[in-house]
Amino acid sequence: MRWFSTVGWRHGVAVVALLFSLFPIVFVVSAALNPLGTLSSTTVVPRGASFGNFSRLLTDTPFPHWFLNSVFIAGVSAAASVFLSALAAYAFSRLRFRGRRPGLLALLLIQMFPQFLAIVAIFLMFSTITELWPPIGFNRSWGLILLYLGGALGVNTWLMKGFFDTVPRELDESATMDGASHAQTFFRILLPLVAPILAVSGMLAFIGTINEFLIANVFLTDTGAKTLPVGMYGLVAGERNSNFGMFCAGTLLTAVPTVLVFQVLQRAIVTGLTAGAVKG
Partner 1 sequence: MTAVLERETAPAVAPRGPRRGGARGRLLTVLLLGPVAAIALWAAFPLLEQGHWIALGVLAAATAGLFYLYLSPRHVPAKYLVPGTLFLLVFQLFPVLYTASTAFTNFSDGHRGDKRDAVVAIQTASVTRVPGSAEYVLTVATTGDPATGPLSFLVTDPATGRVSAGTAGGLRTLPPGEATVNAAGRVTAAAGYTVLTGGQAAARGREITGLVVPTAGGAIRSQGLTRAYEGRAGRAYDEGCDCIREAATGRTWTADDSRGAFIAADGDRLAQGWRVGVGLANFTRLITDPAVSGPFARTLIWNLIFALASTGGTFVLGLGCALALHSSRMRGRGLYRTLLVLPYAMPSFAMLLVWRDMFNTDFGLINNLFGLDVDWFGGAASARIAVILVQLWLGYPYMFLVATGALQAIPAELSEASKLDGATPWQSLRRVTLPLLLVALTPLLISSFAFNFNNFNAIYLTTDGAPFAADNPANGATDLLITYTYRLAFGGSGAQYGFAAAVSVFIFVIVAVISVVSFRRTRRQEEVYS
Could you give phi then psi for residue 206, rounded to 5 degrees? -60, -50
For residue 41, the tally of other CB atoms under 10 A from its CB is 14
With contact defined as beta carbons under 8 Å apart, do 39 and 203 qualify?
A: no
With contact defined as beta carbons under 8 Å apart, do 242 and 37 qualify?
A: yes
61 vs 85, which CB is nearer to partner 1?
Answer: 85
CA distance 38 to 241: 5
Q: Smallest distance from the beta carbon of 55 to partner 1, in angstroms?
A: 19
Which of 256, 234, 258, 235 is CA-nearest to residue 245?
235
| 6-to-2, 12, 129 alpha-carbon distances in Å | 6, 11, 64
Q: Smallest distance from the beta carbon of 90 to partner 1, in angstroms?
A: 5
Q: Smallest distance from the beta carbon of 87 to partner 1, in angstroms?
A: 4
Question: 279: which residues sit within 8 A by CB, 6+ positions away?
Answer: 162, 163, 165, 166
CA distance 2 to 58: 54
Q: Smallest distance from the beta carbon of 76 to partner 1, in angstroms?
A: 13
10 vs 55, which CB is nearer to partner 1?
Answer: 10
Q: Smallest distance from the beta carbon of 60 to partner 1, in angstroms?
A: 18
Q: Smallest distance from the beta carbon of 174 to partner 1, in angstroms?
A: 5
With contact defined as beta carbons under 8 Å apart, do 155 and 112 qualify?
A: no
Local structure of residue 6 (DSSP, 8 states): I
Q: Smallest distance from the beta carbon of 6 to partner 1, in angstroms?
A: 7
For residue 140, the tally of other CB atoms under 10 A from its CB is 19
CA distance 95 to 185: 12
